[in-house]
């Protein structure tokens, strides 16, 4: 794990957006298409907007959420909506956004359908993760029903899982997320910095972010 501590959140945002843009550019030099996997949550929004300004051949980029709350694509809690409003609509309009939700299916059926779509995209070219203070990433929540299945090396590309608050979700499995050559993590604030230190002493089951530790590049600011 490599930790980069920035003087402030603006510097973090600009540096991370540049790293992601550079990684996408390199991927596009070797593949017809690049696959970018992005987190939900509030932290990454400034980085999405900064990335949208990157001069990339977005028409050759597929963007997929690392996880999804089981809500319609126009719902305020939708991660696909978050990515559409803050990346696609902000300058990356040519990119393909591959959603995980399906209006007519329940999370179990929907995860199976999404696994087929995401499986056809793999391997990921660039992965950006977020992390909660409980050291979850994507929707890989410690203690969650479905976590063991989601962390299994033979797991499908997308699996259903239930968040600690009972919210039904689907998430890319650890195995699918690990197809990325490296993972960027964007965290801010001392509480998440302390959680990162705690994770270093724990197992992936106790702290799912640990599953990505080997190639993890953490961009941090207070």
Ligand X SMILES: O=C(O)[C@H](O)[C@@H](O)[C@H](O)[C@H](O)COP(=O)(O)O
Computed from CA positions of residues 49, 125, 100, 59, in that sequence, does the dihedral angle turn out positive or negative?
Answer: positive
Contact assessment for residue 188 and residue 196, using Cβ atoms and an 8 Å cutoff:
no
* Contact status: 132 vs ligand X (CB under 6 A): yes
* Contact status: 208 vs ligand X (CB under 6 A): no
The single residue among 51, 83, 97, 138 that binds ligand X, judged by CB under 6 A, is 138
Minimum distance, C-beta of residue 55 to ligand X, in the bound complex (Å): 27
7 token code pair: 């003087």
Length of the chain: 222
Q: How far apart are CA 124 and CA 69, in angstroms?
A: 21
> Count residues contacting ligand X (CB under 6 A)?
14
Question: Please, what is the Cα angle at 22 between 45 and 212, to 5 degrees?
Answer: 65
* Contact status: 78 vs ligand X (CB under 6 A): no
The single residue among 13, 43, 62, 78 that binds ligand X, judged by CB under 6 A, is 43
Minimum distance, C-beta of residue 105 to ligand X, in the bound complex (Å): 19
Residues sharing a CB contact under 8 Å with residue 160, sequence separation 6 or more, in sequence order: 107, 108, 110, 111, 146, 168, 169, 170
Residue number with CB closer to ligand X (30 or 188): 188
Residue number with CB closer to ligand X (3 or 26): 3
The single residue among 13, 16, 35, 39 that binds ligand X, judged by CB under 6 A, is 39
Per-residue string for binding with ligand X, 175-194, x by CB under 6 A? --------------------
Strand partners, 169: 69, 161
Residue number with CB closer to ligand X (25 or 215): 215
Minimum distance, C-beta of residue 57 to ligand X, in the bound complex (Å): 26
* Contact status: 173 vs ligand X (CB under 6 A): no
Token look-up 């996880």 returns 67
Contact assessment for residue 105 and residue 113, using Cβ atoms and an 8 Å cutoff:
yes
* Contact status: 137 vs ligand X (CB under 6 A): yes
Cis peptide before 123 (omega within 30 of 0): yes
Chain residues in the site for ligand X (CB under 6 A): 39-43, 66-67, 79, 130-132, 136-138
């Amino acid at each position: 794990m490599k930790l980069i501590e920035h003087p402030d959140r603006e510097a973090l945002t600009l540096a991370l957006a540049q790293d992601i843009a550079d990684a996408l550019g390199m991927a596009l030099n070797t593949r017809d298409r690049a696959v970018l996997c992005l987190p939900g949550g509030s932290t990454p929004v400034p980085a999405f907007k900064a990335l949208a300004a990157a001069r990339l051949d977005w028409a050759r980029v597929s963007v997929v959420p690392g996880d999804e709350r089981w809500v319609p694509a126009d719902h305020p809690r939708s991660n696909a909506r978050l990515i559409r409003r803050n990346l696609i609509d902000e300058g990356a309009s040519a990119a393909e956004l591959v959603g995980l939700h399906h209006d007519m299916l329940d999370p179990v059926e929907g995860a199976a359908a999404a696994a087929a779509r995401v499986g056809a995209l793999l391997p990921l070219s660039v992965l950006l993760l977020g992390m909660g203070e409980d050291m979850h990433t994507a929707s890989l929540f410690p203690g969650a029903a479905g976590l063991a299945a989601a962390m299994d090396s033979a797991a499908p590309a997308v699996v259903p899982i239930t968040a600690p608050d009972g919210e039904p979700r689907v998430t890319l499995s650890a195995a699918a997320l690990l197809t990325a050559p490296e993972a960027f993590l964007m965290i801010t604030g001392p509480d998440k910095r302390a959680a990162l230190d705690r994770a270093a002493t724990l197992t992936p089951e106790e702290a799912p972010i640990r599953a990505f530790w080997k190639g993890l590049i953490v961009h941090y600011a207070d």
